[in-house]
């Protein structure tokens, strides 16, 4: 494979001709934050957290899906790129409930890690729909615990589609993005609930999920027991 040279944050990097900016940056130990990206499985640029500034480009580009070019000059931490990431994260947080202390992913959550990395305070971001999904009014957004293994809480889902990607990789194809815009939600392709779907309960979607949207019954049970002991 032919190699090309580009400059990332002032550092000359050599990468394969078919590499993406994100891959080239990682070769040089330059960190670019990501949320929806899964190495060798998904690079759909849906989250826009990995945007970078490239000399000569009119707009910010997604590092996970933009191929490198000979002589390309990339800035991963420019003020413009950082502002964009912070704005994007604020929009994500505006649609994410603040239940971190009782969430099984608390302190082990990629979303929490990104919030810290971007120097944001998730508890000071205005939550756009505080009644969602606690009142159960929207059945398509209610917690789905119908599976013997999995529990899906759409309120915590950031629509990164990583679960869809790994499910497709397993050739199960049980999950899909449903609806559009503000009502977008991940769900089973062939049923209303996971327990009635073609899901084989392999658990890869749980491992791929960056938040507490997809968990297991055992994880939730253990979290409840730990919380109860704390207050006894």
Condensed to tens digits (0 to 9), the pLDDT of residues 9-62 reads 999 999 999 999 999 999 999 999 999 999 989 888 899 999 999 999 999 999
**Distance of alpha carbon 99 from alpha carbon 106, whole angstroms:** 9
CATH assignment of 96-230, among 3.50.50.60, 3.30.70.20, 3.40.50.1240, 3.60.20.10? 3.30.70.20
Tokens of 155: 């309120």
- Domain boundaries along the sequence of the chain: 3-89, 96-230
Considering the entire predicted model, what is its pTM?
A: 0.86
Cα–Cα distance measured from residue 141 to residue 10, given in angstroms and rounded to the nearest whole number: 46
181: its two tokens: 């815009």
* 142 vs 1, residue with greater confidence: 142
Please give the torsion angle defined by the CA atoms of residues 193, 196, 202 and 208, in that order, rounded to the nearest 10 degrees: -20
Topology (CATH level 3) of domain 3-89: Ubiquitin-like (UB roll) (3.10.20)
Alpha helices per DSSP H over the chain: 21-27, 79-93, 110-117, 162-169, 204-208, 217-230
**CA 31 – CA 65 distance, rounded (Å):** 16
Q: What digits encode the pLDDT tens for the residues 102-160?
A: 899 999 999 999 999 999 976 655 555 544 444 333 445 689 999 999 999 999 999 99
* C-alpha Rg value of the chain to the nearest Å: 19
Give the count of beta carbons closer than 10 Å to the beta carbon of residue 107: 9
């Amino acid at each position: 494979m032919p190699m090309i040279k580009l400059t990332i944050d002032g550092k000359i990097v050599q990468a394969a001709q078919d590499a993406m900016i994100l891959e080239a940056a990682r070769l040089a130990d330059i960190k670019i934050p990501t949320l929806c990206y899964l190495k060798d499985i998904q690079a759909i640029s849906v989250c826009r957290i990995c945007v970078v500034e490239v000399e000569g480009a009119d707009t910010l580009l997604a590092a996970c899906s933009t191929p490198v070019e000979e002589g390309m000059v990339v800035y991963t931490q420019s003020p413009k790129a950082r502002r964009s990431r912070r704005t994007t994260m604020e929009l994500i947080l505006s649609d994410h409930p603040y239940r971190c202390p009782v969430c099984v992913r608390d302190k082990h959550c990629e979303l929490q890690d990104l919030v810290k990395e971007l120097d944001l305070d998730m508890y000071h971001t205005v939550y756009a729909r505080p009644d969602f999904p606690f009142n159960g009014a929207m059945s398509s957004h209610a917690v789905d615990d119908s599976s013997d293994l999995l529990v899906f809480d759409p309120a915590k889902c950031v629509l990164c589609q990583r679960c869809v990607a790994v499910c497709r990789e397993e050739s199960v194809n049980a999950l899909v993005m449903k609806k559009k815009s503000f009502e977008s939600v991940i769900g089973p392709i062939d049923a209303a609930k996971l327990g009635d779907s073609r899901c084989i309960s392999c658990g890869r979607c749980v491992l791929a999920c960056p938040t507490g949207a997809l968990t297991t019954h055992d994880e939730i049970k253990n979290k409840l027991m730990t919380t109860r002991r704390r207050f006894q």
